[in-house]
Structure 1
Amino acid sequence: MRLARLTLAAAALLLVTTVTVPSGTPSDQAERHAALSSDTVQPRGAAPRPAVQRTRHETPFGAFVGSWDNYIPNIRRMAQWLNGANMQVGHTYLAGNGWADVEGDPVVLGLWSQWRLADPSRKLVLGVPMLVPNEGNLPDGEVAKLLARGNRGEFDLHFLKLARKLVAFGGGDTVLTLGWEMNGITYSSRCRPDPAAWKAYWRRIVTVMRSVPGQHFRFDFDPTRGLDAIPWTRCYPGDDVVDIIGMDSYDQPAGGTFDEYVSEPYGLQDQVEFAAKRGKQVSYPEWGLFDNGDNPEFVRRMVDWMRTHDTAYQTVTDYCPHGFWECDRNPRSSAVFKQLMSGSKGEPSPWSVPWSPPWGSAPAPGH
C-alpha cells in the first residue's frame, strides 16, 4: 500500500511543478481591516460578556505522536490503549530549517493526507512556520527584517507550493496552525518584534494559500496561554483570515493552579470570550503537563474545560514530560487521562466544510 500511495503522490506532484504567485496579492491589508483586529481584551465585568459555556459533549481529539510519516501507526496504537477511542485528529509539524521544509516533504504530506482521507470524520492539523530558520535563536531585529521581506512577497512562492501539494495529496481541508505560539520568544515566527508587520504577513500568507483552487483550509490562530512576551490580542490579524482561535495550554508555571490558568490575563477565559464575540470555535493544539510533575487534577480540569466549551478539536502533546501514553513519568495523570478518554467516539461529523479530493475517492489506507 505504501508504494501505491507514493505512486499516487508522485502523480499528484505534476499539479504543483509549475507555480506562480497570484497577481494582486496584498501586502498592506492590515490597515484596510483594522476594525477586524483587537489589541485588547475587554476588562472583566464589562457588559455584555458572551455566553461561552456549553452542555458537556465529546470533542474531536488526537495527540501529537511524532512528525514524520512513520509515526502515523502510533495513532492507532494509542487509540487501542484507550480501549478503541476514535482519535479523529492527527497533528504534525513542518520542520523550519529552510524554505524547502515549509514547502513540505511530499512523502510526509502525502501519507498524512492519506491517513486523513481514510475516514471522513478525521482532521489533519499541520503546524506551519512563517519564517526560517524557525528555531534559529534569531534576534528581534533580524526577525523584523524577515517580516518586512515577507510583506514584500519574497516568500509567497513557498506557501503557494505547500498549498498546492496539500490539495494534490488530499489534504485540502487541513487545519493550519500558522506561526504557532507567536506571542512567545521560542520561534522566529513570532510577533513581538513588529506586531503590525506580523499581522500583515499572516494576512498575506492566508491570501496566497486560499488562492489555490480546491482548498478548504482552516487557519488556527494559536498563541500560548497567558501574557508571555506580548499580549496575543496584539497579534490577532483579523476575523476574515482566522477560522479557529487556539491556545497551547501546559501545566505551568510551577505552583500554578487551574483556576489561575482560567482567570489570568490572556488565559483560558479570555480566549473563549474573545472567540465567542467573533463567532469562532476554540482549539487546544498543544496541551499537557510541564512544571508541576504528575498532576492528575490538571488533566481532569483541562478535559472538562474542553468538553464544556465550543472546542473544535484538542491534541495532547504525548511525549515526556507532557504526555500520558509514551511517557512513563506521569502514572497518576495517565490513569486519569485513560479513564476520561477511553472509548470516546468523538463527534460523528465534527467538520463544517465537507471536502473530497479532486481526484475522487481515497485509495485504500495502509496505516
Structure 2
Amino acid sequence: MTKERFRRDRKRLAIGAAGILGVLAFAPAPVGAVTIATVPVAALSAGEPGDTNDGESPRVRGAEDGAPPGRPATDPSPLPAFPPFPSPTLPRPAPSPPAASTAPAPSPAPTATPTASPAPAPAPGFGAYLHYSPRGITDMAAFSRWLGGREVTVGHTYLPGDVWQNIEGAPTWLADWAAWYKAEPGRTLVLNVPMLERTEARVPDAMVARELRRGAAGAYDGHFERLARRLVGLGVKDAVLVVGWEMNGTTYTHRCGPDPRAWRTYWARIARVMNGVEGAGFRFDFTPTRGRDATPWTECYPGDDVVDIVGMDSYDQPYGTDFDRQISEPYGLQAQVDFAAKHGKAISYPEWGLFKNGDNAEYMRRMIRWMDAHPPLYQTISDYCPHGVWQCRMNQRATAVYRQAFKAGGGLPAEDAGEKEQAPMRDCRPVRLGGWLEERLGGRLCVRFNW
C-alpha cells in the first residue's frame, strides 16, 4: 500500500466510524446495538518488547510500514505477502508388492527388476512478506528466530509501479535482494512486476484498454527487456516473476477486464521478451485474486507456453465467509488447483492471510491444512496488519496456530473445540476504527441492525 493511499483510507475510516457512532447515538433503541467484539487486541506501545515467548519480538508497525509499493491495503484483495512458508510434505510411499498366493506356482516366476521408489516432492518454499525494502531482508533473521530457527528460503518483494523507470528495476534495493538470494543455495526470489506505470492511479477503463493494446503491440518491450538485463546482471536469472497480479480485480491499472484479449497477448509478450535476454530463465507466475471478482480469471490466462505457475492471492474475506466457501466458490481455491492440474502447472500462494474476519484461528488452521494437502511451489503470508502474524499483534489466536505449525520441529496442532472460532453473526458488521483505538477498546466495535 502506498503512503498516500494509507492516509486516505485512514481518514475515511475515522470519518466513517464517527458517522456510525453519531447515528447510533440518535437512533431509537430498537434500531440496533453496539457491542465490543470478542477478538482481543493486545495493548502495545511502539518500541517495547511485545512477546514474552521465546524467540525475537518484532517492532510494532502499522500497515503503512509493511505494505509493498503499488499495493492497496484495504481493497477487495489484501496486501502483499512475503516469502512462502512451506507446508511439510511426506514422501509418497513405495508401491507395496502383491500379496503372495497360497496356491503353488506352476513354475518359478522370473525375477522382477527392482524399480526405484519415486523421489519425494520437494518441500514448498517458505517465507513471509516482511517489507519490500532491505528492511525485509534484515527482518528475516529475526522472523526465523521467532520460529525457532526455521530457515526462510523465499524472499518476496515488489517493484514500485509509479513510473516506468522503477518497473525497469531502478530501485537500488533490488541489489540487496539479489545478494540475499545468492548468499545460500536453495533460495528463491519472488518479485511482483507491474505491467503498466501509474499502477494505482485509478486510470479509467478506456485508457487501460488503450494501454493494454499498446503493450500487446510491443510498445513497452524495452522496459521489460531492461528489467530482465538488470536481474540477469545481478545474478537473479531464475527469479519467480508475478507479473500483473490480481488482474481479475479493479484495483490496478494492469487489470484484465477492459480488454482481456489484449491483456493476454501483452502478458505473454512480457514473458517472451524477458526470457529472450541472454542468460535469463525466469519463471512466470499468473496470480489472480481468489474468486470471480470483476472478471473471471480464466478469461485472462495467457497460455501454457508462457505460464509456469498458477498462483492465487487468498485472504480471509469477505466478511462472514467460511473456509469451505473459499474452497468451493466459483474461481476459488479448488478451481485453482483443478485448473493448474489440467494445464500441468505448479501452484503458489504469493499473498494470503487474515482480513475481514479478524483474528480467525480457524481460517489460519484451514489454510495451512489446505496447503499441506495441495503443496504449492511456494507460499508467502502477508505479514503486516491486518493480515499478518509476527508483525501484527492484534491477531494473537491465529498467530499461535501459525507459529506452532511453522516453527522448527513444530506442526499443526489438533483442533481444540474450546478454541474453535464462532461463525460471525450475520447481522453484525465490524467497524474498523484503527489500531490505536482498537487497542484501547480491547476489541472492535460490532454494529447490529435488528430492524
- Is the Cα contact below 8 Å between 1:69 and 1:107 reproduced in 2? no
Q: Paired residue for 2:238, among 153, 160, 173?
A: 173
CA shift, 1:212, in A, is: 0.7
Counterpart amino acid of residue 365 in structure 2: R
2:317 alignment counterpart: 252
Distance across 1 between alignment mates of 2:305 and 2:151: 32
CA distance in 2, matches of 1:277, 1:173: 24
Consecutive unaligned residues in structure 2, runs of 5 or more: 1-88, 92-120, 411-451
Counterpart for residue 158 of structure 1 = 223
Which of 194, 205, 212 lines up with 2:259 in the alignment?
194
Give the superposition deviation at 1:267: 0.3
Q: Which of residues 352, 357, 379 is equivalent to 1:287?
A: 352
**Pairwise mapping of residues 214-229 of structure 1 onto structure 2 (< 5 A)?**
214-229=279-294
Aligned residue number for residue 207 of structure 2: 142
Residue 363 of structure 2 is matched in structure 1 by: 298
**Residue 187 of structure 1 aligns to which amino acid in structure 2?**
Y
SS in 2 for 1:255: coil
For the 8 Å contact 1:250–1:288, the answer to whether it is kept is yes
In structure 1, what is the Cα distance between the partners aligned to 2:310 and 2:125? 16
Q: Any idea what the Cα deviations from partners look like across 1:74-106, whole Å, max 9, x if unmatched?
A: 111111111111111110000000001101125
Q: Is the 8 A contact 1:59 1:307 kept in 2?
A: no
Give the residue type in structure 2 aligned to 1:321: P
Letter in 2 for 1:132: E
CA shift at 1:153, angstroms? 1.5
1:273-297 deviations in Å (ceiling 9; x for gaps)? 1001111110000000000010011
Note if 1:98 corresponds to 2:158.
no
Alignment of 1:13-162 (within 5 A): 58-105=123-170, 107-162=172-227
CA distance in 1, matches of 2:139, 2:252: 27
Task: Identify unmatched segments of 5+ residues in structure 1.
Answer: 1-53, 346-367
- Per the alignment, residue 41 of structure 1 pairs with none
Q: CA RMSD in A?
A: 1.6
CA contact (8 A) 2:217 2:266 kept: no
Q: CA deviation at 1:152?
A: 2.2
CA spacing shift, 1:171–1:269, aligned 2, 3 Å: same
How far does residue 344 in structure 1 lie from its aligned partner after superposition?
A: 6.2
Question: Percentage identity across aligned positions?
Answer: 55
Query: Which of 345, 367, 380 is matched with 1:315 structurally?
Result: 380
Name the SS of the counterpart of 2:172 in structure 1: helix
CA distance in 1, matches of 2:313, 2:397: 22
The alignment of Structure 1 onto Structure 2 pairs a total of residues equal to: 293
Runs of 4+ in 1 over 2 A off after TM superposition: 54-59
- Shift, 1:148, TM fit: 1.2
Q: C-alpha distance in 2, partners of 1:268/1:141? A: 31
Cα pair 1:86 1:344 within 8 Å, conserved: no
After superposition, the C-alpha distances for 1:140-159 in whole angstroms (9 at most, x for unaligned) are 11100111111222111110
For normalisation by structure 1, the TM-score amounts to 0.78
Q: Distance in 2 between the 1:344 and 1:87 partners?
A: 14
Q: Any conservation in 2 of the 1:59–1:312 contact (CA below 8 Å)?
A: yes
- The amino acid of 1:272's aligned partner reads V
Distance 2:193 2:392 in 1: 26
Query: Residues 344 and 281 (structure 1 numbering): CA distance in 2 closer, same or farther, change over 3 Å?
Result: farther
Structure 1 residues 248-278: Cα deviation after superposition (integer angstroms, max 9, x where no partner): 0000000011110000000000000100111
Write the deviation string for residues 101-144 of structure 1: whole angstroms up to 9, x where unpaired.
Answer: 10112522211011011111110000000011101101111100
The structure with the larger Rg is 2
Q: Quick check: 1:110–1:170 contact (8 Å CA) kept in 2?
A: no
Name which of 277, 284, 298 aligns with 1:233. 298
| Aligned partner letter, 1:100 | Q
> How far does residue 55 in structure 1 lie from its aligned partner after superposition?
5.4
Q: Is the 8 A contact 1:60 1:312 kept in 2?
A: yes
Deviation at 1:71, TM superposition (A): 2.5
For residues 265 and 295 of structure 1, the distance between their equivalents in structure 2, rounded to whole angstroms, comes to 23
Superposed CA offset, 1:154-213 (max 9, x none):
111110010001011011110000000000001001100000000000011111101111
